[in-house]
Structures are given as structure tokens and as C-alpha cells.
Structure 1
């Protein structure tokens, strides 16, 4: 009979019970032994050989059972051990009945032993055989011996035992079979889950409700370079790159989602070798009846993908040959700086550089030699500027340098240094390469503003002036003579700023910021003005001079003190939850006097630090990220909030958002002013809002000047709006009357 036949399939499903384990046989043997011992006790009427024969049957049954266990598998020996118990039960029943003086014996119950054994371990056919043997065991003495020891009434007992063996035992067998099948399926399912968990190609971690690792698979341990037991008992965030808390934020959001939903994020883990591993997390809440609310986290190593994406982003903005910024990146940086000049005043300079006689190198020595020379000159340019400056290859042998904070003299010095270094390097070369020099045109953004012309075009024309003047020279477009010498103008403005600080000639105006969800004016940005007779001078005309003269920390300290005075009045008289945004110059970041001014003013005016929002532009942050981070950390611990201005103007924005403490993200006006008309701007706004929301930060849209723009901001989930549609900057009294007074029109208070 093969294993595919019906009789063997149930037997296979019963696994170890089919053969009958020693643990299962032991209670049957104990009961059988007690039966034999009972009949040996006096009085004993039958000959000794009856008990001896019963003992021999019992011994034979035990021997057959042991033999079947040793042979393994299911053979004819397995049911034979049970069949031998029938003559044993018949002999014991006869001996016990004779001792009591009749055929009725309590030992008849021993017939249950083989029937139950085969119900648990046998096949249906074997159970039917057992039913027949039980009938034979009871009927044979009646037929052979007869009255008076066995009367006809014993047939009733025979019929009932036959019914038990034929009807009840198969039912019991089916129950045992179902239990065995369910146990087997449960074990198989458990084993399958274990294999899926352990053999998963990606990392899997099981966390308790606190985020502590309960179990991890091998792939997860490999990612962090540890053995699985070394990770158990630690919070998953302990394996994150120091200084980041994305895992804690992720687990907090996972705890809030509905059962069965998953939450995804990306973060970096620090492996045992000190290397950062970029991973993608996908987490799901898994209820457990014993351990409670568990979280299963799937961890995928995406380091290669991140490197690939970073490489693509780098190639999109950088020249393949030299590694410098390309024209696309340079034009983007130039546009950002022009927008900054519009807000804060013109500063910085642009250098345009073209190599003289470079074509002869390509024609004579070949393009490989020309490429190598370009790579070398790119290195010279990098070493000639600061890390905050931007150098780019615009194409061919033309380069551009953006000096965001340089004045005219500074631009001249940098240009002359570049010309000198290129000429010095060429002097070490042979042949026509010795003739390579550089012609540089330099234009300050102030000069470009005076000429009302494109700064790049002016730099290009100035560069050609240098070439026409004999090459290997620097030509600087002078700023207008109508304003007199630059040094005299700077000294004049410096004295005016110092006088304004001394005599309180600065004024603060407030521009409203509206909570889009409620339509309320819940905060405002403080804007600085300089009072000159009847004229209010905007900061674009004096801030850059204050920065260069080292006066900006004093100006910012004045602004902070007077802003908190206004804030105290606003919260006391009009709105106890009102907040003010105060801009800080990059020259004030990290200055001890600014920190003291903020702390003293908060205490003096008794203002809740949470009502003060310190706003820093990207230009201020990029000057020294570490310094800005430390300053933000100290002010945050004090209770102040921070806003990052001009967000989205470049890839650097995401770097600052990651490494600095910010509560508000002010979307750059470039992406807001035309968001109702441009699908690209709307997509960028949606992305910025999504990133900010995931990081737990609020967003502010600047340059909201049209109802259509406001509608788009509301649809895309922007939190706050600022611009001429919401309200123009106004002095304190006018601001309160228009936006906070109870009598203010509804249209003014909720646009």
C-alpha cells in the first residue's frame, strides 16, 4: 500500500501519534498492569495458568510495541501490539469474574485499552478489526464455556461493547485526526512565518509600544553590523545617526495611524563601523494578544539609490569636466542673489573670466591638453575664493564667480588674484600653453543697479574691455560718480546709522501674517525703517553698510528690544496669543550681545519666549551652519521659535532644514507670486508643504498679492499667508486699527 492511498493519508497527517509515542503508551501500560495485579489478589478461583497466560499476552504486547518503535514508520507491528491486548483483557475478565463467583466482572473495562489505542493511533480499518475482536473476546466465553459461568444475559454486554467499539471509537478517532491536522497546520504556518521573518531579503524589526527592539532578523542585523541579540532591548532610534530624530518622529506618527495602515520614511542608520547607511522604513502596527501593541518595521538599504540620486543631482548642476557649477546652477544662484538684493539692498559682485589664447592650446596640443588645463584652472579658482562664493564654468573657456558679500575693492582684489595665479601657472608650462592668461570683468550689483542693466551682460562687456586693453588684465565697472567716492558714501551712511541708534531714529513697521485656516491675523513680521526728516528709508539702503561697518549686532539688538515692547502691548491689549517675527542679520548670529539682548528684553517686557519668532535667511545660515545651529539650539531651549526664510530657492534649503532648528518654513516668493498660473510653481509649493508637514513644521507663503494665490495656498495646505493681499506694512497704531481693533472691517481682519 503506497502513501498516496486513502488509508495512509490520515495516518501521515497524525505525525507522531500514528506510531504511538512512549509517553502515550505509558498510561495504557500502567492501567493494564494494575488490572493484572488486581486479579492476582485472593480469592483466586481460576488455575494459575490463566493469570500466567494473561501476563504473557501483556508482555508480548509490550515487546511488539518496542519493536515497532525501533523499526520506525508505520508497520504491521503497530496494530499487533493493540490486538494482543484483547486476549489479555479476556483472560483478566475471566479470572476476575471467577473470583467474584460469576461472569460479571469490572475488568471488562480493560477492553477499552486496545480500542482507545487504535482510535488514537490506528487507521479506520484497524479500528474495525478491533471492534470485531472486542465482540469475539466477550462472545467466545459464552459460546465455549457457557452456563453457569457465562449466561445468555452476557450477550447484552457484548452488544454494548461492540457498539462502543464500532460507533464511539471512530468518532473519537475523527476528533483526534482533526486535532492532529490542526496542530500540523499551525506548526506549518508558524514555521512559514518564521522562515519569512528570518529569510527576508530586507531588514525586519519587531518593536514594542515604546519603540524598543523585541526581535530582528539577520538582514536587519547585517545593516547595522551587529548580531541580532545585541540589538534586542535597545530603542530603534539608538541605531540612528547621532543628531537625528527621524525614527522617533516616524514611530510617533505610526502610533497614530489606523490598524493595517503603513507609514513610510527615510533616515540614516549608523553601523558598527561608524558608517552611515541610508534606509527606507515602512512600519505597520501589529496587535499581539500577549505583548500588546507591536510595530513591525521593514528596513530597506537604499544607500546605492541615494548615491545614484545624489550623483544625478550633482550632474544636473555641475560641469562634468571640472566639477564646478554649470550655467544652470550659476543662473539659479545669481537669480537668488538678485532677489536678496531686492529685499535687503544691493551687495556683492560678479566676475566674468575668459582665457586668452586658449584656442591655440586646443588647436596645437589637442583637446585632451586643453581639458587638463581647464581642470587645473578650475582648481585655481576654487582656491582663490571663499566657500560661500560660487564659481562656475559657463561653457568653453569662460568662467564666472559670484561674490555675494564683496564690495568693489574686494571684487578687484579677487579678480587680480585670479589673473596672477593663472599667469603664474601658465609660466610653468611649455609651448603655446605659456601664453594662456585671463581677462576678467568685475561688476558690483550696486553698479549694475545704477546702470539699470543686466549684471551678467555688464560683466561680459567689462570683460571684453579688459581684453581690448591688452588682455591679462582686470577691468572693474566703477560705481556712479554722482554718489561720490564709495568710501565717503560708506562713512556718511555709517555716521547716520550710529546717530539713528543714539537718538532712536529707527522705526518698526508691522506686516500682518494671516492664519489661512481661520482667517485671523495671528502674527506679524517686524520691518525696520530709518527716519530721515519726513522720509522713511528702507533697510535695503543701509543694512549692507551696517553689516560691513560692524554695526548690525547693535541694530538687531535695538530691533529685538523694541519689537518685544510692541509684542507685550499687542498681547496685553489686543490678542494674548499674538506672535511677532523678527529678522536677524547673518552678522548677528551667535553674537553674545544679541543673545543677552534677547534674554534681557524677554524678561524686561515679561513676554512669553514662545511668542517670539526669530527669522534667519539662508544666506545667514550658510555662512556658518555650525554656528547657526548652536545659536538656534540655545534660543530654542529658551523657548523661542525659528523661521527659515526663502525656503526652496536651492538644494541648500533642504540641507539647512535638516541641520538647523526651525519651526516655520517661509516659502520663497519666487514660487508663490505665480503659483496660480504656473503648474511648476504649484508642484514645488506642494512638495515644500509636504516636507514641512512631515517634519512637523508650519509653512508661510510670502508675496501673496492676489485672491487666486491665496486660494491655491489654502488648497495646497499652506498654514500662513503674508503679502499685500493680507496687508501692507504699517506703523503700530495703523496696524492695530486695521487688523486687531474690534471695529476693524471683517474684510481687513479675514481676507
Structure 2
């Protein structure tokens, strides 16, 4: 309880602490009144001896001394009320000098007793007022007792009682009023100082304007924003600091004056003293001021960083991050606008589609950083090859597009040839395989596209492949007025042929045996896809890349998985330990429909998932390592195994071997085909096998076409061998009769 009381006393000031000390400015009026009283007594006629008046004048000396002594102290002390106490003898002497002729009752100087009482009511404590009450009573009582009648009548006791009442009753009320006024003044001053600090120290700019938009006052942040001192801005229109050519601030002020009571927000630009433009946000309202009428308070926030960030986001939404060119989204919008223009005004302009030849070799041999730098350089070459009104975009990978809105056929030919020449010239400065980098360009005018009634982008794509098939490093132009389409247009027919093959089961699966080198038995096989058309058996090299480009590869992979698992069920009846390897395209990795096909096929045919090995080429896995790993993790939970195909073909082979979930490493044939003759290839083979074994993975050597190659693979510890020496891809029946002589069973159809 004592501790709580102590805190309360410290927090709530006493009456004395709540009053101010007497200042010279406050003392001057009291001194003037005292001197007036003294001068008044000195005026004739004189009723008392001169020495009384002189003594009254001398009594002011200790009053002044006591006051000055109290002012020298920094804190309140007993000297503070002493000057007021010493005024009572002064008042008593003047009272006696003025009223000597007719007794104290006739004295007009009694009013001087108000001086010390008022002083203590303003500056003193309640206890000091009580002392003043006693002194006031003594001022009347002492003459009555000491002199007595007739000079002082007993009736002067009434006056003593009245003045005591004034001191004890009215003076404390006055003191409370003064104290409250002091507190209110202090609070108002504190509040005003707080507002001033908030205004001056606000982290954002604040400007006060008159109704004409002229600056009355600004804070430091606003002045710093424009690079001036606050006084230099006063009197100027706020719009004078806006970026030249804009009038948003003037419009903002006008709308603000017509929308009193509302807070309006706007954005504009201001120019600082250095000539730099800042993006700012204005938040303004009209406030009332007693002395100045209506004032416009404008909060100004520098949003330059936010504006740059938003502009950056907008830029990223429409531009390629690597090259800074327009991206596919932006290009599609520009192309659509141009097509709308062609529909209104007739076909005009041309479209170029460019693809870098042998770009994959740069990534695989020199690394993706070098490949990225090459793309950036090519982007710069393309920018310098076109006009500012043309549009160049990176559509993805190493594919670029150029929209020439006003070019005719000859102009399109010239620009395309210039691009090919500049890419070829730049490639000669590169080291290694970079020297073989070139560009194939397909050029189509919008007039030619309208004549063929076909999509201009599709025609440009097909024409570009005409350039590639013609030997690359050149331009293929679709001529106007020629009814024949691009030679590559035949590829469009493949889409319908692939769709028909899926619908009517025209695909076939062939099996290539894989030998286990630990026992020389054929314990597994790889499934290879073929397309049957009449009497022709079409290899996958002729249609798989088309299926990938038109988005049909996931459906093809789903078909392969379903029929492969059905075939695997039949093979495991002949050999319960038999395993089957099935290739998946990079376009199918992570596709829910393909994953569901795997699950459904394993469930329908009741096949042990461990017998199914899914092959993914290293280049497909490289496309998105995180996606490939997540896909492998989900399918591995089913019990399936994974093989990393064509290992060693990519630049980051060992990195991907570390970070991807694979059970088998299929060594790329590039390192196997000449391993019996090349010491370098053998060293690489030995390194791959050693690392794979240390990581707990098994190895499969592809392209084993010679007995000596097989012998080297055994010596270096390869686990499995695959190639023409082991066996060529053959249909199911031939595979069973040749490699599984224990029985011949035709696989059941998949429904």
C-alpha cells in the first residue's frame, strides 16, 4: 500500500507543484500597484509624520531583495513566498498613514492587502495562503490593540474578519482557477508543440495551402523532397513544383475545393531542384482554421520506389527476364493488334520466326551460363537489326519472333537475311561448338498468310523448318501468290495421323533385349514405339517431336504405359523376374493423367510395380529438376524404378545424378560405341560406373554392337548391356520366341 501511495503522489502534483513561479513579467504589475499606493500616500494633505511614509518606502527594499534572491534559485524555496509576506508590513504602514486622521476605518489603502494575497494565490501554495490570512488579520489587529480608540475603533475587527475570509475562502478558489488555467495552458501548449513536432518531423511531406493553392507552410520532409528550404517554398503554388507539362496538382486542388469534407487521393510527379522527377502520392483534405479560414492540408508521400517496383513488375509481365525482349504474352498481344489492323485496312507486314541451330550443343558442352549469355547476345543483334516500330520477342528457349508491321515481301527477305548473317558472323567469334551455331529463319507476309487462309504463326513455324531441312543457316520465305504451302506443312498432317493412331490403336510396341552381365541372361527389355501405316512401320524419330510440339505426347505416353504394362504381365508369366523399361517424354513428367495411367495399368493387370522401370532422358530431367524429382518421388512410392537415359550427354550429368531419384544409369552410346578403341571413352565409362556404384545405382551400357565392346563393359563393371550385339528391337512374338524360349504368348488387348 505504501508503495502504491508513493507512486500516486509522484504522479499527481500537489497544489504547489501545479503553480508557476513568479516571473519578472508577473511581478511588474504588482510593483506598479504598490508604488501607486506609496505615491498616493505622499500626496497632501499629510495626516501622519513623514517617517511613517518613509518607513513604508524602506519596507519595499526587503521585498525587492527577497524577490531577487528567489529568482537566483533554479528551484522553489522558502524565499519564494517571502516577498509576499514582506508586503504585509508595507500595506500596514500605508494603511496607517492614510487613515490616521479618522482611524483605520477611513483608510483607502486597505485594498493593498490584495497584492500579497493575489501573488500567493497565483504563485504560492495553500499553506502559504493560510499564512497570508494570518498576516492580513494581524495587519488590522495590531493597530487596534497597539493604538486603540479613537484612532482605531473596535469595529475594525469586522474588517479583519472579512479580509481573513477573503484569504481563506476566496483566495483558494482563485488559486484553483489559476492552477486550472495553468494546467489548461500547459496542456494546450504541449498539444500545440506535439502538433508542431508531428508536422515538422513527419516522415512524409506535408504542405498547408490557401484556397488558391499557394503554400502557407511546409515541413522539412517536403522541403527535402524538392531540395529547397521551407521558407523558399512559402508563397509559391504547389503546382509550380510539378513536373513541367503536367497539371495534376492544379486539378487535384480544384477538385478538393469542390469536395469539402472529403479526402482526395491523387498521384503525380514533382521535379526537385536537381531536375529529377519523383513520383508522389497526394492525400488532401480541407480543414478549418479560426484565424485563417479554410486551409488545404496536403500529405505528400514519395512513391518513386513503389512506382519503380510496379513498373518493374509490369515490365516483367511483358518481357523476357533473361534477354529483356518482349515475351510470348506481349508478342501475342502485338500480333493480335496487328491482325485486327489487317482486317480493317487489308493485309500488310510480315512475320519472321527464328530458331538457333545447334544451340543445345552450347548448353550441353559449355554449360547453361554460356548458353544464356549467347541468347542475350543474339537478342542484342536482333534489336539492332530492326526499326523502333518493329517488335522482336523471345517466344521460349532459343526461338525468337520478329513482327515487321509495315514490311513487304522484299523487306522481310532483307531483314531475315541480315539476321542470319549477323548470327553467323557472331558465331565465328565463339569457341568450341559455338562455331556451329547459326540461325534458321522462316518469313511469311500477312498477305501470303491470307492467301493460304492459315494462321500466320503456324505458317512461319513451318517455313522455319523448311529452312532447317534445307541445311539450316538460311532463310525460307513463303512466296506470295503461290498456292503451294511450306514443305513443312506436311507436318500438320502428322497431328491428325497421330490422333488417328491413338484412336484406332495403330501404334505398335517393339522390345529390345537387355542382358544382365552377371549371368548373361535376358532379364529385361526396353519398349520402343512404332507407328503402323498400311505396310509401313514409321520410326518414332519421324513423329515424336511433332507430337511434342502439338501437345499430344502425354496421350502417346499414356497409351504406351497402358499397353506396356499389359505386355509386362504376359512376360512375367513366362519369367516371374522379368522387368520392362518404358520411355517417358519430358512433356509427360509431372502430368497427372500420365501418373494416373501408370497407377491404373498396374492395378488392372496386377503387376508388381518393381518390374516397371520408367526411363527419362537426362535432357528431359534437366528441363525442370524440381518437377522431375517430385514426379520420381511420387511414382517411386508405388514401387516403380527409374532409369536416367542418355547419361553423359548433358553438361550437368553428375549434378543431376546426385539430385534426382534414379535406380539405373543408362550410359549414353557416345561413350560406349568406341570404348574398345578409345582410351578416353574407356576412362569416361570407368568413371561413370564407379560413381554410379558409389551412389548405389546400376549401370546399363547402350550401343553394344561388338563383342569387344561387351568385353570392355564386363571388365569395367557395367551391370547390363543393350545394343545390336545383344539383340535388335523386335515385335513381342519374335522377342518371346528368340529370348524367352520357355513359351510364346500373345499379349491381351488393352481396353
Q: TM-score, normalising length from structure 2? A: 0.61
8 A Cα contact 2:206 2:300, kept in partner? yes
For 2:252, the equivalent position in structure 1 comes to 250
For 2:348, the equivalent position in structure 1 comes to 347
After superposition, give the CA deviation of every residue in 1:477-504 in whole Å (9 maximum; x if it has no partner).
Answer: 1223589xxxxxxxxxxxxxxxxxxxxx
Structure 1 position 122 matched with structure 2 position 124 = yes
8 A Cα contact 1:439 1:474, kept in partner? yes
Shift of 1:174: 2.5
For 2:106, the equivalent position in structure 1 comes to 104
For 1:377, the equivalent position in structure 2 comes to 378
- Distance change >3 Å, CA 6–CA 272, structure 1 → 2: closer
Residue aligned with 1:84, SS:
helix
8 A Cα contact 2:96 2:104, kept in partner? no
Residue aligned with 2:269, SS:
strand
In 2, Cα distance between equivalents of 1:323 and 1:315: 9
8 A Cα contact 2:16 2:126, kept in partner? no
After superposition, give the CA deviation of every residue in 1:673-714 in whole Å (9 maximum; x if it has no partner).
Answer: xxxxxxxxxxxxxxxxxxxxxxxxxxxxxxxxxxxxxxxxxx
In 1, Cα distance between equivalents of 2:160 and 2:432: 124
Shift of 1:100: 4.8
For 2:453, the equivalent position in structure 1 comes to 452
Shift of 1:318: 1.5
In 2, Cα distance between equivalents of 1:6 and 1:201: 32
Residue aligned with 1:77, SS:
coil
In 1, Cα distance between equivalents of 2:233 and 2:155: 75
For 2:185, the equivalent position in structure 1 comes to 183
For 2:243, the equivalent position in structure 1 comes to 241
2:218 to 211, 216, 226: 216
For 1:265, the equivalent position in structure 2 comes to 266
In 2, Cα distance between equivalents of 1:7 and 1:143: 44
**1:583-594 to 2 correspondence within 5 Å?**
none
- Distance change >3 Å, CA 4–CA 359, structure 1 → 2: same
In 1, Cα distance between equivalents of 2:41 and 2:211: 64
In 2, Cα distance between equivalents of 1:5 and 1:372: 73
In 1, Cα distance between equivalents of 2:312 and 2:42: 93
Shift of 1:125: 1.9
In 2, Cα distance between equivalents of 1:6 and 1:156: 43
1:201 to 200, 203, 212: 203
For 1:293, the equivalent position in structure 2 comes to 294
In 2, Cα distance between equivalents of 1:116 and 1:7: 25
In 2, Cα distance between equivalents of 1:105 and 1:126: 26
Unmatched tracts of structure 2, length 5 or more:
1-5, 485-751
8 A Cα contact 1:44 1:99, kept in partner? no
In 2, Cα distance between equivalents of 1:368 and 1:475: 30
8 A Cα contact 2:351 2:443, kept in partner? yes
In 2, Cα distance between equivalents of 1:262 and 1:101: 74
Which is higher, the Rg of structure 1 or of structure 2? 2
Residue aligned with 1:19, SS:
coil
For 2:145, the equivalent position in structure 1 comes to 143
For 1:276, the equivalent position in structure 2 comes to 277
Shift of 1:27: 2.5
Shift of 1:189: 1.1
In 1, Cα distance between equivalents of 2:188 and 2:358: 83
For 2:525, the equivalent position in structure 1 comes to none
Residue aligned with 2:224, SS:
helix
8 A Cα contact 2:210 2:216, kept in partner? yes
In 2, Cα distance between equivalents of 1:479 and 1:6: 95
In 2, Cα distance between equivalents of 1:415 and 1:357: 19
- Between stretches 158-167 and 181-190, larger displacement belongs to 158-167
- Between stretches 321-330 and 384-393, larger displacement belongs to 321-330
8 A Cα contact 1:103 1:149, kept in partner? no
Residue aligned with 1:280, SS:
strand
Instruction: Count the aligned residue pairs.
Output: 479
For 1:13, the equivalent position in structure 2 comes to 18
8 A Cα contact 1:204 1:216, kept in partner? yes
For 2:688, the equivalent position in structure 1 comes to none
Root-mean-square deviation over aligned CA pairs = 2.4
- Distance change >3 Å, CA 218–CA 7, structure 1 → 2: closer
For 2:318, the equivalent position in structure 1 comes to 317
In 2, Cα distance between equivalents of 1:201 and 1:413: 58
Structure 1 position 70 matched with structure 2 position 75 = no
- Distance change >3 Å, CA 199–CA 5, structure 1 → 2: closer
For 1:59, the equivalent position in structure 2 comes to 61
8 A Cα contact 2:226 2:271, kept in partner? yes
For 2:565, the equivalent position in structure 1 comes to none
Shift of 1:320: 1.8
8 A Cα contact 1:19 1:73, kept in partner? no
Structure 1 position 25 matched with structure 2 position 23 = no
For 2:176, the equivalent position in structure 1 comes to 174
**1:163-562 to 2 correspondence within 5 Å?**
163-259=165-261, 261-481=262-482
8 A Cα contact 2:420 2:438, kept in partner? yes
Shift of 1:188: 0.9
Shift of 1:219: 0.7
8 A Cα contact 2:87 2:116, kept in partner? yes
8 A Cα contact 1:3 1:9, kept in partner? no
8 A Cα contact 1:267 1:280, kept in partner? yes
Unmatched tracts of structure 1, length 5 or more:
484-751
Shift of 1:335: 1.6
- Distance change >3 Å, CA 114–CA 138, structure 1 → 2: same
8 A Cα contact 1:94 1:103, kept in partner? no
For 1:571, the equivalent position in structure 2 comes to none
- Distance change >3 Å, CA 460–CA 140, structure 1 → 2: same
Residue aligned with 1:115, SS:
helix
In 2, Cα distance between equivalents of 1:23 and 1:111: 21
Shift of 1:67: 0.8
8 A Cα contact 2:381 2:423, kept in partner? yes
In 2, Cα distance between equivalents of 1:242 and 1:422: 44
Residue aligned with 1:189, SS:
helix
- Distance change >3 Å, CA 109–CA 385, structure 1 → 2: same
- Distance change >3 Å, CA 5–CA 91, structure 1 → 2: farther
Shift of 1:41: 4.9
8 A Cα contact 2:95 2:104, kept in partner? no
For 1:695, the equivalent position in structure 2 comes to none
8 A Cα contact 2:15 2:126, kept in partner? no
